[in-house]
A = this chain, B = another copy of it.
């Protein structure tokens, strides 16, 4: 994972670089805004950390320029404790998060991880106990035999499998599979759970989709 630090105070820049390298990130440092913009434009980073108060080209300017050229790299900025107005402008300019100075390094690290995680690639093959779902070919197999699922059935199963071991609340499911403005008192979800169960559990016994009453559903081993 490559991180760019744009920071003019060399002490802070070094502190950040050392800390992040200890965490096995690969780090570049730019000591002023124009160098920062140049690096950010010409190289590929997974995340950019910018001090908001920079001489020359400001953090805001860097953010705006990058967003203008359609770069989606997460940008996190460091801001002085009381520069609240800047914060607002920063978020509007396209920053993803901000951290107030002085900060705990642990907190910075946590924020960085959150940003990197949202960027992570999605799994194309999901599986559970002889059940295989392939997002690229849009196929599902059970014990090697293909099962035909409709679009809704597929995305419902995909969501459950993606979160196997965890409980998916009815709300989570409806939000992800049906998208937002959905009548929450509809019973479509129940019906589709029923469809899926019939197709997946045909023939053999075991439940694959478990109901957690009052909460939602989950795919996991029975205890």
Contact = CB atoms under 8 A, between A and B. Distances in A.
Interface of A: 22, 24, 84, 88, 91-92, 97-98, 100, 104, 107, 110-111, 114, 117-118, 136-139, 141, 145-146, 150-151, 165-167, 169, 171-172, 175, 180-181, 212-215, 218, 220, 223
A22 B165 CA distance: 24
16 contacts: A22-B175, A22-B181, A24-B172, A84-B98, A91-B107, A91-B110, A97-B114, A111-B117, A114-B117, A137-B218, A138-B212, A138-B215, A138-B218, A146-B223, A150-B213, A151-B215
Contact of A92 (B107, B141, B165, B180): B107
B175 A24 contact: yes
Total copies of this chain within the assembly: 2
5 A-B pairs closest in CB distance: A146-B223, A151-B214, A138-B167, A136-B166, A22-B180
A24 B137 contact: no
A154 to B, nearest CB: 8
A136 B98 CA distance: 28
Nearest to A107: B91
Contacts of A137: 165-167, 218, 220
Contacts of A151: 213-215
A63 to B, nearest CB: 14
Contacts of A218: 137-138
A180 B18 CA distance: 10
A165 B139 CA distance: 10
A24 B184 CA distance: 12
A218 B135 CA distance: 13
Nearest to A124: B166
